[in-house]
Structure 1
Amino acid sequence: MHTSPAKLLILVALTLVILVEGRTVLAFFGIGISPLETALIGFLAIVALLVWAIRPLGGDPSESD
């Protein structure tokens, strides 16, 4: 695992904050994003974060040269 569960929780929470505030900033400039699009982007970002956190650190440990 690349990070601890506590750090992963903080990263997920920070991702959600960035999504909500990013939507607000884009609306300020006249760019509208629907809540469904925001939720989809958030879901994909959190899945990517979880995949990064769970994947193995190095190569296959059973292989040794």
Structure 2
Amino acid sequence: MRLRTSPAKLLVLVALCLVVLVELRTALAFVGVSLSVSATVAVGAVAIVLLLLWAVQPAESAE
């Protein structure tokens, strides 16, 4: 199976996605928007699945 990016870069992207989700929840709480842990986990799961689907799709050739 070929990926659009290397597995190491994909791992870094997943980790960055998790950091953004945690910090976004903190920023939303700062402005008074309450987001539950389960909602954060659901959004994170969707984001990671979309990232993995993007990585697995073959890249368009520049022919």
TM-score (structure 2 length as normaliser): 0.90
In structure 1, the partner of 2:50 is 48
Q: 1:1-65, aligned counterparts within 5 Å?
A: 1-58=3-60
* Coordinate RMSD, CA, aligned: 1.0
Q: What per-residue deviation string (whole Å, max 9, x for no partner) do you get for residues 6-61 of structure 1? A: 000000000000000000000000000000000000000000000000111137xx
Q: Distance in 2 between matches of 1:38 and 1:17?
A: 12
TM-score (structure 1 length as normaliser): 0.87
After TM superposition, where is structure 1 displaced by more than 2 Å over at least 4 residues in a row? none
- Percent sequence identity over matched residues? 56
Letter in 2 for 1:3: T
Query: Which of 1 and 2 has greater Rg?
Result: 1
Gaps of 5+ in 2: none
